[in-house]
Amino acid sequence: MPTRRGELVPITGPDLNVVTAGQPDFTLTEHMARRLVGREEADRLSGLISDILADFDEYQCVPLRKLAAITKFRLYISTTPDRLLAKAINDVRPGDKPRVRELTFSPFQSMDEQGAAEGDVTVFRLFGRASSKLPYAIHDENQLEWLHSVRSDSGGLPESITEEIREKHLSEARAAH
Q: Output the pLDDT for position 163.
A: 66
pLDDT for position 172: 46
Do residues 146 and 128 make contact, with C-beta atoms less than 8 angstroms apart? yes
- Please state the domain extents for the chain: 11-176
DSSP 96-152: T---EEEEE--TTS----TT--TT-EEEEETT----SSS----SHHHHHHHHHHHHH
Q: What pLDDT is attached to residue 169?
A: 42
pLDDT of amino acid 93? 83
Separation of alpha carbons 59 and 159, rounded Å? 33
pLDDT of residue 177: 45
**Residue ranges for the chain with pLDDT beneath 70:** 1-7, 21-23, 40-43, 95-98, 110-119, 153-157, 160, 162-177
Which residue type is seen at 159? E
Q: Which amino acid is at 111?
A: M
